[in-house]
Amino acid sequence: MSVDTRRRSSAGRAAQPVRSERVRAEARLGWWLAGPAFVVMLAVTLYPILQAGWDSLFHFRLTAPADKSFAGAANYVNILGDPLFWQSLGVTLLITVVTVAVELLLGFALALVMQRGLKSVRGLVRTAILIPYGIITVVSAFSWFYMFDISSGFVNSWFDWVPGIGPETNWFAGTWGSLFVVIASEIWKTTPFISLLLLAGLAQVPTELEEAAEVDGATWSERMARVVLPNMKAAIMVAVLFRALDAFRIFDNVFIMTNGAYGTEVLSLLAYRTSIGRLEIGLGSAISVLLFLCVLLICFISIKAFKIDLAGTRGGK
């Protein structure tokens, strides 16, 4: 294949840069190395997705296999017309927005402290703040549950000086108390993740740009807003996207603390309870498909909103 044929010559299109033999060899090697993993990934992710899509078109209960019948879009119509679905979606979005927003602020502050304030003990601090992230989510969920539980928890006695908190405060008896604990535990556990991503982003900001801005008389907040943050947009996007997807798929904390009671149901739990609890494979698959579509939508919105093309960034450019 000649180099010329690789050029895109049609009018209005930017010309494709000519790839050297070395680049092409690297690309081939890349495919050979990543190919098997790619095939395995397709097998373990694409197959279940297609299976769920197929199952969602049926009325199918695991313990009544003889009653299986084609439903078409009926499962989707039922789900989208049910207030419980929209309530679960609302709770999921609330948890996602609040946790990501708080974590972004806290994580950025921690990253700044690690990068600028505590250079001598950076390694130690980095390890220390990683501990919550290293704890298994179910274990963390149980810890937070028992901390706030009315019979076994210590939070009520420690914080009884705070108005509204006393020995008889039952955090898990209502929507807002439960959501507060769920959100707090999420923030505690995953802020370190965001802070490390942002620390990596901070490290990539050229110091000479900041110094130049400082010489020009820019204040700290101006340097942050005009120099630092725009230069770490990719890192922020990755942090927001990863955490948003993670938060949107929240399951463990809610499952352990409330099991979806009293208005704390989230979409993953609804899908789980329908598929696994009720054994309604068709209906549960339809919820899972909708959950998957929501995840895709979040990816799409994040990438569009940040206007970053991660795939277009190549090393050694």
Partner 1 sequence: MLKARGRGAAARRAVAVILGPVVLSLVASGCVPADSTPVLTWYTTSDDGGQAVLAAQCTQAAQGAYRIRTSGLPTSADAQREQLARRLAASDTSMDIMSLDPPFIPEFAEPGFLAPVPSDIAARTTAHSLAGAKAGASWKGELVAIPFWANTQLLWYRKSVARKAGLDMSQPVSWEQLMDAAQSQDKYLGVQGKRGESMTVWVNALIKGAGGEILANPEAKPRDLSLGLDSPAGTEAARIVSRIGRQALGGPGLPTASENESMLLFQGAKGSFMVNWPFVWPAMNAAVKAGNLNESLPDDIGWAPYPQTVAGTPSAPPLGGIDLGVGSASKHPDLVYRAIECIVSPQNQTEYFLGNGNPPADSTAYEDPRVAEQFPMAPLIRDSLETSAPRPQTPYYSEVSTALQRYWAPPGDVDPATTPRLTGEFILQVLHGERLL
How many Å apart are CA 148 and CA 144, to the nearest integer?
Answer: 6
CB crowding 195-210: b at 16 or more within 10 Å, else e: bbbbbebbeebeeeeb
111, 198 in Cβ contact below 8 A?
yes
Q: How far apart are CA 317 and CA 314, in angstroms?
A: 6
Instruction: Between 130 and 150, name the residue whose CB sits nearer to partner 1.
Output: 150
Q: Cβ 165 to partner 1, closest distance in Å?
A: 12
Q: How far is the CB of 174 from partner 1 (least distance, A)?
A: 8
Smaller CB separation from partner 1, 78 or 204: 78
Burial of 274 (0-12, 13-18, 19+ CB in 10 A): buried
Give the binding site for partner 1 (CB under 8 A): 59, 62-66, 74, 78-79, 82, 84-85, 149-151, 168-170, 172-174, 259, 261-262, 270, 273-274, 276-279, 283, 287
User: Measured from the CB atom, is 43 or 84 closer to partner 1?
Assistant: 84
Q: Is 70 helix (H, G, I), strand (E, B) or coil?
A: strand
Amino acid at 107: G
53 vs 174 by CB, closer to partner 1: 174
Give least dist CB 140 to partner 1, A: 19
Among residues 198 and 286, whose Cβ is nearest to partner 1? 286
* R_g of the chain computed on alpha carbons: 25
Q: What minimum distance in Å lies between the beta carbon of 265 and partner 1?
A: 10
Measured between its terminal Cα atoms, the distance across the chain in Å is 25
Give least dist CB 19 to partner 1, A.
33
